[in-house]
Amino acid sequence: MKIENQIMAYCPYCNKHTLHKVSVFAKSAPRGQAWHTLLHNRKITGYVGSVSPKQHPKKLGKRQVLLLQCTVCKKTVQRSLFGRSKKKVEVKR
């Protein structure tokens, strides 16, 4: 699915619709010192081998998140296009 590289969207900082630059949000690598990672590591100390994780239901698709940068105030806002979907979002050149 392709979207335009510049769209008119609402900017909460300017409090009106302005032109926004569009890019796709890329998730960074998980932090090794995050709070719940530390809790999990503390919990499994003493166990040898793999500890079976909790069974979670499988989610169908991912949320496609866009980064919208306002051309007036240069602030960036995250915006989800739709719910969970298997479509991938690309920005037109």
Among 73, 76, 80, 87, contact with Zn ion (rule: CB under 5 A): 73
Site for Zn ion in 10-39 (CB under 5 A): 11, 13-14
CB of 27 to Zn ion, least distance (A): 24
Instruction: Please report whether residue 8 would count as binding Zn ion according to CB under 5 A.
Output: no
CB of 81 to Zn ion, least distance (A): 20
Alpha carbons 12 and 83: distance in angstroms, whole number: 22
- How far CA 38 is from CA of 31, 33, 47, 57, 77, in Å, comes to 10, 6, 15, 24, 30
| Count of other CB atoms within 10 angstroms of residue 64 | 20
Q: Taking contact as CB under 5 A, which single stretch among the options 6-14, 21-29, 53-61, 84-92 is the one that binds Zn ion?
A: 6-14
73 φψ region: left (φ > 0), alpha (ψ -120 to 50), beta (else) = alpha
**Binding site residues, Zn ion, CB under 5 A:** 11, 13-14, 70, 72-73
